Amino acid sequence: MRAALEDSPDSGVHDQDAQSRQIGAQWSGPAITEITHPTLVVHGEDDPLIKIRAAHAIASRIPHARTLILPRVGHELPEHTWKPLAAAIRGLADSAPRSAQ
């Protein structure tokens, strides 16, 4: 496995083929406005691919969504983001209404 990964490293945001696939991808699920579950929109402050305004636009269309902008973060989740992200997810879960059982 190691040899295979070393032979074909991930070129990340510089992979033009991956970017083309993502740009051409079509959503086939329900409308974003139909999301009713607690939602956390996470975005890196320094994301080279998607502007922060996209995260705010997404969150504005989902009722009661929260937005977490991670400082010093691009399009990935480096280790220094794990604790604040886990805390935000925990906070979201703790504030969610309890469903009837």
Return averaged pLDDT per consecutive 10 residues of the chain, 101 residues in all: 69 70 79 92 92 95 94 92 96 81 42
Taking the model in full, what pTM does it have?
A: 0.73
Asked, for residue 72, whether it belongs to a domain, the answer is yes
Domain hosting 97: range is 36-101
pLDDT at 100: 42
Number of domains in the chain: 1
Q: Is 62 part of a structural domain of the chain?
A: yes
Give the pLDDT score at 101: 42
Answer whether 22's CB lies under 8 Å from 50's CB: no
Q: Is 1 among the domain residues?
A: no
Domain-located, residue 12: no
pLDDT at 9: 62
Residue 82 lies in a domain: yes
Flag whether 51 is in a domain.
Answer: yes
How far from 32 is each of 26, 28, 69, 80, 97, CA to CA, in Å? Answer: 14, 11, 20, 30, 20
pLDDT reported for residue 79? 94
Asked whether residue 66 is domain-assigned, the answer is: yes
5 within a domain of the structure (yes/no): no
